[in-house]
Amino acid sequence: MRDLQLPGRSTIHSRNGMAATSHPLSTLAAIDVLRRGGNAVDAAVTACAVQCVVEPMSTGIGGDCFALYAPGGGPDVIGLNASGWAPKGLTAQHLLDQGIDSIPITSPHAASVAGAIDGWDMILSEHGSIDLDQALQPAIDYAANGYAITPRVAVDWKRNMAKLAANPSSAAKYLKDGRAPKAGEVWRLPELAETLRTVAAKGREGFYKGWVAEDIVEFLVSLGGCHALDDFAEMHGEWVTPISTDYRGYTIYQIPPNGQGITALMMLNILQDYDLADMDPNGVERLHLETEASRMAFAARDKFVADQRQADVPVKLMLSAKFAAKLRSQIKADSAIEAPEATGPVYRDTIYLTVVDKDRNACSFINSLYMPFGTGLTSPKSGVLLQNRGAGFVVDPDHPNNVAPRKRPLHTIIPGMCLRDGKVAYCYGVMGGGYQPVGHAHLLTNLIDFSMDPQEAMDSPRVFHVEGRLDVERGLGDAVMAGLEALGHKVGRPEMPWGGGQLIEIDWENGTLAGASDPRKDGCAIGY
């Protein structure tokens, strides 16, 4: 229980349904759906669509999505991979011939075909009770009639003004007199509203065929992209079998590669052998071990993880106890190890949301443009911001994650699900780019090893080793900084907090739900 004399949030409790998102309008939209009789999937897609409008730096219909879904709260967990692919005309050799050895984050080559709308349609068609038309109405209203800018959204928008200004279409739609909107200002996105109306009327084909796809392809080709209309028309997500590991009596589920969920599982496998519960949760020993486990797991991710449709990824080996022991053996209790730096650009943006309904259907849902405002490129007529997920490819013909036609890149966004005795205990996720698997492991060990309540576990200060430095949030004092430095870590304070997150716990004994929302973002958890 938190100290009620200090600023903070209480864990939210309810009997019926609950939603937790990083934006209050998104949470409200989800609750509205639930109270009208919709299920968790209906509410999740509706909420996500709203966030594509009201939190445009973090997500959009020009991005990708993943989901984990547990009907009735388990025991079955269903996985959805709706990540987009590279156009069929894009190869590593094509880029190398142009002198490009890594994909620039604002280039058309970084704009993989968006999978989000296809994913929304798939999960609604299979598990929802409403269609895209109904799910998109709140988002259409906000895009057409406007919404008030929230504080964290305003900060992130301002930090990316230069990126938006570099593209005339983006500047026209996402800047006002060359500046970002301020908290409390009303913002409208009329072109995006019209695109959403088209999708509402025509379904997924309203995005992947017709004038919207034509606008996107024409725009990207004009910038040197290799995209073609059939790259969009033939785009499809897939249902996947989640991967899992057991941790202290819980089973943790993740989407299999091309996502990095396996990284979180490897971290938990490494940490399994340490008596974390006997440590200070905000102490040097625990944070050091978590950091070193993450560095070992990231090295394995960068070596092996790729699109399994086009690469052989040794998933069974990576999740084995033998592999965990091998990685664990390299960790030193008294000093930082030398390990390769995780590859890929540093960023903190995405949206994650979770919904559990009265029937205990649990939906863990994530949607992203990759970096803030994706490529920074907005198709002129449709108003669709285009993701830069293609920057996650390696421009090396011999690497498993090499860029190739119709291939999905290494993906960082990961929804989480945690079951105990065949029932969902936690439906959760932590945003923040590369930080996400670290955040998953940190959150779960807070809950399981340190018996924190959901909001306490979410609030807990974070560390993240990135670009040769261990970022230590200000919630951890100078003594912790000094202790980590004494072990050989190069430490510093991050300019912005790491990640965000949402969590819903199902209390089967009492028949209630408990929810948490990360104060690092603007959102909230609401139950009824």
> pLDDT tens digit string along 260-301?
999 999 999 999 999 999 999 999 999 999 999 999 999 999
Total residue length of the chain: 528
Q: Which of these, 160, 219, 177, 189, lies nearest to 379 by C-alpha position?
A: 219
Residue 489 near residue 465, CB atoms below 8 Å? yes
- Model confidence over 320-334: pLDDT tens digits? 999 999 999 999 999
- Residue from 350, 354, 375, 412 carrying the catalytic annotation: 350
The order of strands in the sheet holding 512-517 is 12-14, 512-517, 502-507, 423-429, 416-420, 250-254, 243-247
The helix (H) or strand (E) run that includes residue 53 is helix 40-54
Total number of domains constituting the chain: 1
Catalytic residue list contains 350: yes
Q: Residues with Cβ < 8 Å from 449, sequence gap 6 or more?
A: 248, 276, 277, 281
Give residue 5's pLDDT. Answer: 85
d(CA 16, CA 278): 36
Q: Looking up tokens 């600023």, which residue turns up?
A: 7
- Model confidence over 441-470: pLDDT tens digits? 999 999 999 999 999 999 999 999 988 899
Report residue 34's pLDDT band, with 50, 70 and 90 as the boundaries.
very high
Across 420-435, average pLDDT: 95
- Residue 388: domain span: 1-528
The helix (H) or strand (E) run that includes residue 47 is helix 40-54
Give residue 348's pLDDT. Answer: 62
CA atoms within 13 A on the CB side of 339: 30
Q: Which of these, 68, 3, 477, lies nearest to 283 by C-alpha position?
A: 477
The order of strands in the sheet holding 351-356 is 238-240, 78-82, 64-70, 362-368, 351-356, 18-21, 524-527
User: How big is the chain by its Cα radius of gyration, in Å?
Assistant: 21
Give residue 7's pLDDT. Answer: 83
Give residue 153's pLDDT. Answer: 97
The single-letter code of the amino acid at 525 is: A
